[in-house]
Amino acid sequence: MQIRRLKINDHKCLVDFEINFVTNDGGSSTILIGENGTGKSTVLESILEILMSFDSDAIEKKISYDYEFEYFYGGSNISIYQRDKTYQINIDGESFCRGKIDTVRKHIARRTVFPKRINYFYSGASNKVLHNINRGNINYGTKCRSAVMQYWRTTVWANHEYRGEFPKRKYNYCADLLTPIYLISILAGQRTFEKQYLQDQCHMTRIESITICLDIERLPQSLQEEVMGGGNEWLYEIIDFVDDRFSELMHRGFLYDYENLFFFELEDIAELELDTISLFNFFEKLVTIFNAEYSVYISVGNSRVNCNDLSEGQRQLIKILGMLGICKSEDTLVLMDEPDAHMNPAWKYSLKSTIDKCLSEAVNTQAIIATHDPLVINGVDKRFIRIFTQSSAVAQHNNMYITKVVEPSEDTTGMGIDGLLQSEYYGLRTSYDSQADRDFRERQDLYIKVINDEATAAEKDRLAELTKKIGSFHVSNNTIDFLYDDFLSIYRNSEFYLEDYLTPDKIRERREKIQAIIESLFRDR
């Protein structure tokens, strides 16, 4: 899925709001930046609500705003227009259906116009997104358990081949219970970029063992009554139906059962040589059907570590890579709200390129990322960045500032973090600490007075004091340009820098010498 445009008429701070996204034929990502409260999270949540509203009555009723939503999916350009709860869906410019939600659902049941998966990452404290996703997944769990029941009635009771299949989990959230499943899917799967990244960055090399607890009380009551006390073969029947490639491994791994709980320990899971999606689908189905709980041990360097003991940053990285890893063969939308939280600077620095490399192997998948960190956008092409702003020039609506989206005019390449902070992207006056900033500005004001021959003796003494103080700062000696670093190091120890203050004649002499240096450099070339 590739979102092209979203317009919202009136929702929170999004009033007459419109945002355009950059898309391409493969994977792509767009980064949203801006101050807190400018609507970045609201945009992500609105996209999720719009897509989920066609599956959930509860979500559809929540949408009180009109919108226009355009995207590319399944080889076609899709447009959805909603006004006063009346929907118009166009496919490649031609009308597909029009009417209230019930009418629209009948049409889309015959032709899929929505992505197969929507993955949502959220690092905040609110459970609002999770609550919405749980609503969307209610029918999913019911359908999975119904499929098990139908399989049992057809295959076991009636001795007929059951040709049905499980639905796929459409909405995935960064829930902690999925972390071990993502980890298994990556490390036990075939070689992928995500697997290599975990090995290189976190030194996680392999899955040592997986302990599983299955609770059969999640099964339909009639099936529970049928299977209780009949040994364990019925359980293997269901596992075989979920994915028969795991049957032998689960047989070997059975430990014991206690009341309604069945325990397994799996080793050598990598011997199955399955892809990430197959592994995810199997272990996720066990969660949905049996409320499965996992204890996963992995090799980290020379240590054996429980997945639950990993740091918050490591677990967050696993979730992100896992979400991206299950997008490889399906049209997918990935929404990420501050995925850089809890990450060290090195991971933040490479986050955008990491996501893009994951998406480069995906089929028509898009990621939309909201962040506050300049490390994430450092070096990113301006086409892929959108700035959310609420300036004093922006009108107010219902006592709230209205958000506008600005497409940057400058590329981030070569700016560095200080440059980004003081650019249109973040708009800070300075990246220095407040005291240093005051010292620099005071010295500047005093220099002007000296140049204009207006400085008092006390002000000249203060200028001398500030010059010596600032000379001890570790300022600007950490650039990538070693020639500039060398110049600064030499200059800060020169007669001109160490003087208490510079007279107009001294300033003129300094500029002449700088000009002479530049001319000599060009002569040497």
- CB distance 172 to 166 below 8 Å: no
For residue 96, what pLDDT is reported?
95
The mean pLDDT of 256-283, rounded to a whole number, is 92
The mean pLDDT of 262-289, rounded to a whole number, is 93
pLDDT in tens, 472-490: 776 554 555 666 666 766 7
For residue 156, what pLDDT is reported?
79
- CB distance 193 to 357 below 8 Å: yes
* 266 φ, ψ (degrees, to nearest 5): -105, 135
* Residues in contact with 100: Cβ distance below 8 Å, sequence separation at least 6, in sequence order: 85, 86, 87
For residue 317, what pLDDT is reported?
94
For residue 61, what pLDDT is reported?
92
For residue 259, what pLDDT is reported?
84
What is the CA 5 to chain-centroid distance, rounded? Answer: 19
The answer to whether residue 393 scores a pLDDT higher than 60 is no
Query: Alpha-carbon dihedral of residues 317, 323, 327, 332, nearest 10 degrees?
Result: -130
DSSP 200-215: HHH-EEEEEEEEEEEE
Task: Give the domains, in start order, of the chain with CATH numbers.
Answer: 1-115+332-415 (3.40.50.300), 125-330 (no CATH), 434-524 (no CATH)
For residue 23, what pLDDT is reported?
65
52: which 2 tokens? 């989920």
Q: Work out the number of other CB atoms within 10 angstroms of the CB of residue 255.
A: 12
For residue 239, what pLDDT is reported?
92
Distance CA 388, CA 514 (A): 41
Average per-residue pLDDT in the chain?
86
* Residues in contact with 519: Cβ distance below 8 Å, sequence separation at least 6, in sequence order: none
- CB distance 331 to 26 below 8 Å: no
The answer to whether residue 186 scores a pLDDT higher than 70 is yes
DSSP 443-510: HHHHHHHHHTT---HHHHHHHHHHHHHHHTS--S---S-HHHHHHHHHHTTSHHHHSS---HHHHHHH
CA geometry: angle 57, 79, 167, nearest 5 deg = 50
Closest CA to 249 of 231, 218, 228, 274: 274
pTM above 0.85, yes or no: no
For the ranges 77-91, 96-110, 141-155, the lowest mean pLDDT is seen at 141-155
Cα distances (Å, whole numbers) of residue 364 to 141, 277, 306, 328, 380: 27, 16, 35, 9, 21
CA geometry: angle 367, 50, 18, nearest 5 deg = 70
* 145 φ, ψ (degrees, to nearest 5): -70, -30
366: which 2 tokens? 């898009």
Q: DSSP secondary-structure letter at 61?
A: H
Partners of 212 in the β-ladder: 264, 294
First CA to last CA across the chain, in angstroms?
A: 52
Partners of 297 in the β-ladder: 209, 306
Distance CA 295, CA 306 (A): 7
More confident residue, 320 or 449: 320
For residue 394, what pLDDT is reported?
54
The mean pLDDT of 461-473, rounded to a whole number, is 83
The answer to whether residue 331 scores a pLDDT higher than 90 is no
Confidence of residue 467 (pLDDT cuts 50, 70, 90): confident
The mean pLDDT of 4-15, rounded to a whole number, is 93
Distance CA 322, CA 23 (A): 23
For residue 503, what pLDDT is reported?
55
- CB distance 387 to 424 below 8 Å: yes
Cα distances (Å, whole numbers) of residue 467 to 331, 434, 444, 488, 497: 60, 17, 10, 15, 8
393: which 2 tokens? 């020039």
Closest CA to 235 of 321, 370, 189, 246: 246
The alpha carbon dihedral of 241, 243, 245, 246 has a sign of negative
Closest CA to 390 of 11, 15, 3: 15
Closest CA to 238 of 336, 315, 166: 166
For residue 51, the surrounding DSSP H or E stretch is helix 40-52
Confidence of residue 247 (pLDDT cuts 50, 70, 90): very high
The mean pLDDT of 150-174, rounded to a whole number, is 84
More confident residue, 473 or 149: 149
More confident residue, 330 or 253: 253
The answer to whether residue 420 scores a pLDDT higher than 70 is yes
